[in-house]
C-alpha cells in the first residue's frame, strides 16, 4: 500500500502555487528549496509582495520566479492579485510572513486552498508582536502553527504544530530564531500532509 501511495505521489502533477510575502522571505527560500524536489507536491509559480523592499523578492529574482508588487492602499489591488493568480493558473496559496489580511472574497474563491504559518502555538497569541507577548506572559513553551486561512485572524483549522521549551535566558531574537528553524520544517511537512491526503 505504501509503495502504491508513493508511486501515486510521484506521478502527481505539481500544483501551481503562489507565495505571499512581506519581509525577509526565509520561508519562501525554504519552500523554493523543497519545491525543486521531484516528489514535493507544489511548484512555486508566483510570488506576491505588498512591500517593494521585501528581501524575499531577491529569492524570486534568483530563481527566476515571476513576482508582482501590490499596493494594498489602492482600490484595485485585489483585482491585480486575482488577475495574476488566474494568469499563472494558481491553485494553491501559501502565506509566508505576509503582514496583511486576506480578503473574504479571495478566501471564498480559494476555499481550503490558502495556508498560513504563524509563529505561535495557536490559538494562543494571534496577530502581531508575538514574541514580545509570549515573553511577557512567561510562557514555558512556544512554537509555530501551519493552518488553513479563513475569515477570522489566525483562526483557521490547524494542519501542523511544532513546539520547543523556552529557556529563561531567551529574548525576542532567540525566540524568533528558534521558531523560524521549526517553521522551515513545519511548512513543507504541512504541504506534504495536505496533498498526500488528497
Enumerate the active-site residues.
Answer: 118
Is 137:95 a contact under the CB 8 Å cutoff? no
Neighbours of 89 (CB within 10 A): 10
Is 126:147 a contact under the CB 8 Å cutoff? no
Pure H helices in the chain: 2-11, 26-35, 57-62, 77-87, 104-109, 130-136, 172-197
> Three-state DSSP class for 119?
coil
Tell me how far the alpha carbon of residue 19 is from its chain's centroid: 7
Is 109:90 a contact under the CB 8 Å cutoff? no
C-alpha cell of 166? 523556552
Amino acid at each position: 500500500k505504501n509503495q502504491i501511495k508513493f508511486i501515486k505521489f510521484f506521478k502527481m502533477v505539481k500544483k501551481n502555487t503562489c507565495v505571499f510575502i512581506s519581509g525577509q522571505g526565509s520561508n519562501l527560500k525554504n519552500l523554493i528549496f523543497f519545491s525543486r524536489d521531484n516528489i514535493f507536491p507544489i511548484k512555486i509559480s508566483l510570488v506576491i509582495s505588498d512591500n517593494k523592499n521585501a528581501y524575499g523578492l531577491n529569492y524570486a529574482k534568483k530563481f527566476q520566479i515571476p513576482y508582482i508588487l501590490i499596493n494594498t492602499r489602492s482600490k484595485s489591488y485585489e483585482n491585480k492579485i486575482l488577475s495574476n493568480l488566474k494568469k499563472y493558473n494558481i491553485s494553491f496559496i501559501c502565506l509566508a510572513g505576509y503582514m496583511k489580511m486576506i480578503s473574504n472574497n479571495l478566501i471564498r474563491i480559494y476555499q481550503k486552498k490558502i495556508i498560513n504559518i504563524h509563529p505561535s502555538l495557536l490559538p494562543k497569541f494571534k496577530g502581531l508582536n508575538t514574541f514580545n507577548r509570549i515573553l511577557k506572559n512567561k510562557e514555558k513553551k512556544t512554537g509555530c502553527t501551519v493552518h488553513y486561512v479563513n475569515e477570522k485572524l489566525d483562526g483557521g483549522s490547524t494542519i501542523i504544530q511544532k513546539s520547543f521549551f523556552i529557556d529563561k535566558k531567551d529574548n525576542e531574537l532567540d525566540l524568533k530564531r528558534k521558531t523560524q528553524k521549526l517553521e522551515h520544517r513545519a511548512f513543507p511537512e504541512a504541504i506534504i500532509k495536505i496533498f498526500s491526503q488528497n
